[in-house]
Amino acid sequence: QVFLQESGPGLVKPSGTVSLTCSVSGDSIRGSSYYWGWIRQSPGKGLEWIGSAFHDGTSFYNPSLDSRSTVSADTSKNQFFLRLYLATAADTAVYYCARQGYYYDGSGKKRGWFDTWGQGALVTVSS
């Protein structure tokens, strides 16, 4: 069974960086065909995809957050990471890490649904 666990500071100052780690057990990021992603949920709001990464270093981002976010992985530690720069109060949210399934269409391998989620980590951006 696959488990994901988020960790990181719960309080970030405005203009600071949201830095989160997702530790994976039960699956190997290096050997996996899955993508690994981050999704957030602001208080009382819907889900918002932030970005996803593959073990080969490639990454993909929500265009609205592309310029401020980085998703990367450390296969030796079986962890992946989120860095969200220049944080504002609008970035206050519960942040989830998740394993992302894939499928093939005419243009090749594509990212799909999220089949396993971490429990979530609340990050508050406030001075």
What is the contact surface with other proteins in residues (CB under 8 A)? Answer: 46-49, 60, 62-64, 96, 101, 103, 110-120
> CB of 124: closest distance to other proteins in angstroms?
16
Place of tokens 């050997």: 31
Give the three-state DSSP class for 67: helix
Nearest residue (CB) to other proteins, 76 versus 107: 107
3-state helix, strand, coil in the chain (%, to 5): 5, 55, 40
Nearest residue (CB) to other proteins, 88 versus 119: 119
Structure tokens at 33: 């065909």
Nearest residue (CB) to other proteins, 41 versus 75: 41
> CB of 31: closest distance to other proteins in angstroms?
21
Structure tokens at 113: 């649904």
Euclidean distance between CA atoms 64 and 54, whole angstroms: 20
> CB of 118: closest distance to other proteins in angstroms?
6
User: Sign of torsion, CA 69 123 48 120?
Assistant: positive
Nearest residue (CB) to other proteins, 16 versus 60: 60
> CB of 97: closest distance to other proteins in angstroms?
10
Structure tokens at 109: 């391998």
